Structure 1
Amino acid sequence: MATYEYYKEIFAEVPRPFALVDLDMLDDNARAIAGAAGGKRVRLASKSIRSVDVLSRILASSPIYQGIMCYTAAETAFLAEHGFDDLLLGYPQWQPEAIRTLMNRVSEGRSITLMVDSVEHVEHVEQLARQEGTVMPLCIDLDMSVQYPGLHFGVWRSPVHSWEGMYPIVEQIIHSPWLSLDGIMGYEAQVAGVGDNAAGKYLKNKTVRWLKRRSIVEAAKRRKEVVERLMAMDLRLRFVNAGGTGSMESSREEAWVTEITAGSGFYAPGLFDHYASFRYQPAAAYAVEVVRFPKAGIVTCMGGGYTASGTANADKLVKPYLPSGLELFALEGAGEVQTPLRLPAHVELNLGDPVFFRHAKAGELCERFKVLHAVSQGRIVGEYATYRGMGACFL
């Protein structure tokens, strides 16, 4: 683990605010995730990384890493222009011009797969593919959420819950000369993206772990059924995609799964502190500077309020990182232009000193900064451009 003095010395001459990626920790995380995959391929989730340089570094680190899961058509085209291939769009797209752009890339020999979860999606893509004269690969999104009385455990994604819901979509694809069924995806978000080791929440943690165990069994059952049904139709998929960083331990056990998606674990943001089954190193952070002393034991920093998306809960706030022991104020949190912090007794800060924070989520940090200052072995070794730094903004 890095210390405050370590980073303070490295960044003594760098103007605040700035963001950093610790390459030593990033590389350690990449090795750990590759090992956790259990021999499965790992597809990188670009939304959790949002840097061409970081994507390239991870892909080059191990043959386990193959392909990228993108989040918009425009981002997919952007990555294709920068030399990336085997691009799977994780979410359905509708804008005709954006889809046509990707079809042009496919006609040039790029491997790009669109996501669908309805007959309407398929008909829309088919019409565009016919117009462009391009055979378009598709992936069907299989819902992995589970229902209990009064509880929907999971996220609202695909309406396809079973083979019965998938079959009409499969039929529509295989009977079109302009489409091909490339793969299926089932993302068990309630396993991969929900922490189960939050401090002081014993009953909640225990309940979440029980729900996760039930979800893992149900996810495996659904994926197995659709794969077996497709094989019975003599359909061979290029990939069966599963999970996320938080569910690798279970996804890797499914024989029919060929690849697992991972993204957040490479940076290991604040929300990843609340998992019982794994722990990765905090490879990404940002710094703001102390500009005020409102009273003894309190400092106020300039800026810093980079709240994460999702439910508006306290766990989406940034986490004071270094020096250790700093606390946000419940009535202010992290602010747009200033962030007050309560100091522990053992910490002294001066005006102009940096304070390091970790974002609650992973790639969203990159939307606030043009570069990530790359650190290794006690020094800055480069600047890794974010999407923003390359003039790109997709969502």
Structure 2
Amino acid sequence: MVDLAAFDANADALVSRAAGKPLRVASKSVRARDLLSRVLARPGWRGVMAFTLPEAIWLARTGISDNVLVAYPTADRGALAELAADPALAAAVTLMVDDPGQLDLVDAVCPPGRRPPLRVCLDLDASWRPLGGRVHLGVRRSPVHSAGAAGTFAAAVAGRPGFRLVGLMSYEAQIAGLGDAPPGQAVRGAAIRVAQRGSYRELLDRRAAAVAAVREHADLEFVNGGGTGSVAATSADPRSPRSPPARAVRADALRRVPCLAPTPAAFFACAVVRRPAPGLATVLGGGWIASGAAGASRLPRPWLPAGLRLLGAEGAGEVQTPVTGAVATTLRVGDRVWFRHAKAGELCERVNELHLVDGDEVVATVPTYRGEGRAFL
């Protein structure tokens, strides 16, 4: 179930933080075409950040957007051949690159003389490497980290026929996706905030230098920076980013992200099928675990009735999930327990349909990617 009022409020809150710079919607955090269309129809939103090339082609062909950035490099030869064979697709989809081998693969699929120029975006690694690189904070993404390396790669792209470098991306996961106030961990939270401030200051200068170096070889249409947790900070950078991606319209439960308190919008329900002991109720299913480093933060969270919690020794199971708490005593066989997934988009890999709720009324039922028979990863 998706609460449309909360969905729209989250979309508007992100726009207000973007301070006039356009937002891309990250499709992997939505994974339902009707909801992608809904957010793109709102002011302040422009384009999609897809997670695979076949998905990007599908979204472009079905009219969801003519501005689709593939967030990760691809090695899908079939999809590359389809992209290279269609000038309209080639104009709508931008590939992510950070290694000459990725360009070589494209050329092997379809030589430059037999295709329109393909749009590419350079992925600049945004991780922070203080103490001379002896410390690494952030995800390990692109091998292109310095401004010099970005300029060198841009020159290589500019010198190859069949490619057009149109964008630069720089996703600071250590700021955008790392909660700065983990529950019950005040010291860790303070350390995270200090690291995020240091990383942000370093990235502002390095990203600006990288943009300048790349622009010596390419006429950039966009610089894509930030994420849900850093929309405000990224948009405040006057020197480069113009289009931060945003993932919080579906308000996942993984952690509190800095400067943003999204309204819970996406939920799933499981039926009570057992009462194994006083103060316990067991629902069928529920073990929908989120991706990332294994831990309690990846588990779904019991949401309604309020006051339920998982058992530490069992967590959420594939076929059954026990919940406890004072309210568990009142649950009967057949009652529903509502959960929040830790990552809203991944919820759609488990269900075929989303029920869209406005107030207390279901106003529409729409298919997820899975419901349309699409599985991209």
Question: Please, what TM-score do these two structures have when normalized by structure 2?
Answer: 0.95
- The one-letter amino acid of 1:77's match is I
The aligned counterpart of 1:289 is 271
The aligned counterpart of 1:51 is 32
Aligned residues of 2:113 and 2:162 also touching (Cα < 8 A): no
Partner of residue 171 from structure 2, selected from 182, 187, 210: 187
| CA shift digits 1:4-31 (9 cap, x unpaired) | xxxxxxxxxxxxxxxx111111011111
| CA shift digits 1:296-316 (9 cap, x unpaired) | 111000101000011111110
Unaligned 5+ segments in structure 1 are 1-19
The aligned counterpart of 2:155 is 171
The aligned counterpart of 1:364 is 346
- Cα deviation, residue 347, structure 1: 6.4
Aligned residues of 2:147 and 2:207 also touching (Cα < 8 A): no
Taking a change above 3 Å as real, the CA distance of residues 59 and 288 of structure 1, as seen in their structure-2 partners, is same
| CA shift digits 1:63-114 (9 cap, x unpaired) | x111101111111111122112101111111232221212234445641111
Aligned residues of 2:151 and 2:214 also touching (Cα < 8 A): no
Higher alpha-carbon deviation: 300-309 or 160-169: 160-169
Q: Distance in 2 between matches of 1:168 and 1:226?
A: 10
Q: Are residues 1:244 and 2:230 paired? A: no
Q: Distance in 2 between matches of 1:90 and 1:391?
A: 22
Partner of residue 62 from structure 2, selected from 70, 73, 82: 82
| CA shift digits 1:263-308 (9 cap, x unpaired) | 2x10111114x23522011100100011111111110001010000
Q: Are residues 1:377 and 2:351 paired? A: no
Q: Distance in 2 between matches of 1:205 and 1:276?
A: 11
The aligned counterpart of 1:227 is 211
The aligned counterpart of 2:18 is 37
The aligned counterpart of 2:281 is 299
Aligned residues of 1:122 and 1:169 also touching (Cα < 8 A): no
Determine which structure has greater relative contact order: mean sequence separation of CA pairs < 8 Å that are 6+ residues apart, divided by chain length: 1
Aligned residues of 2:39 and 2:45 also touching (Cα < 8 A): yes
The aligned counterpart of 2:297 is 315
- Cα deviation, residue 348, structure 1: 1.8
Higher alpha-carbon deviation: 89-98 or 203-212: 89-98
Partner of residue 271 from structure 1, selected from 235, 251, 254: 254
Work out the percentage of aligned pairs sharing the same amino acid: 40
Q: Are residues 1:143 and 2:125 paired? A: yes
| CA shift digits 1:22-46 (9 cap, x unpaired) | 1111011111111111111101111
- Cα deviation, residue 237, structure 1: 0.6
Taking a change above 3 Å as real, the CA distance of residues 178 and 330 of structure 1, as seen in their structure-2 partners, is same
Q: Distance in 2 between matches of 1:69 and 1:81?
A: 15
Taking a change above 3 Å as real, the CA distance of residues 123 and 346 of structure 1, as seen in their structure-2 partners, is closer
Aligned residues of 1:126 and 1:176 also touching (Cα < 8 A): no
Q: Distance in 1 between matches of 2:91 and 2:369?
A: 21
The aligned counterpart of 1:99 is 80
- Cα deviation, residue 131, structure 1: 5.3
- Cα deviation, residue 167, structure 1: 2.4
Unaligned 5+ segments in structure 2 are none
The aligned counterpart of 1:17 is none
Aligned residues of 2:119 and 2:165 also touching (Cα < 8 A): yes
Q: Distance in 1 between matches of 2:246 and 2:329?
A: 36
Q: Are residues 1:393 and 2:375 paired? A: yes
Aligned residues of 1:136 and 1:178 also touching (Cα < 8 A): yes
Aligned residues of 1:21 and 1:285 also touching (Cα < 8 A): yes
Aligned residues of 1:30 and 1:266 also touching (Cα < 8 A): yes
Q: Distance in 2 between matches of 1:346 and 1:372?
A: 27
Q: Are residues 1:67 and 2:47 paired? A: yes
Aligned residues of 2:150 and 2:214 also touching (Cα < 8 A): no
- The one-letter amino acid of 2:192's match is V
Corresponding residue SS for 2:348: helix
> RMSD value over aligned CA atoms?
1.6
- The one-letter amino acid of 1:104's match is A
Q: Distance in 1 between matches of 2:280 and 2:290?
A: 25
Taking a change above 3 Å as real, the CA distance of residues 276 and 180 of structure 1, as seen in their structure-2 partners, is closer
The aligned counterpart of 1:203 is 187
- Cα deviation, residue 166, structure 1: 1.7
- The one-letter amino acid of 1:374's match is L
Q: Distance in 2 between matches of 1:347 and 1:132?
A: 68
Aligned residues of 1:119 and 1:168 also touching (Cα < 8 A): no
Aligned residues of 1:129 and 1:135 also touching (Cα < 8 A): no
Partner of residue 309 from structure 2, selected from 313, 324, 327: 327
The aligned counterpart of 1:22 is 3
Q: Distance in 1 between matches of 2:186 and 2:89?
A: 54
Taking a change above 3 Å as real, the CA distance of residues 246 and 347 of structure 1, as seen in their structure-2 partners, is farther
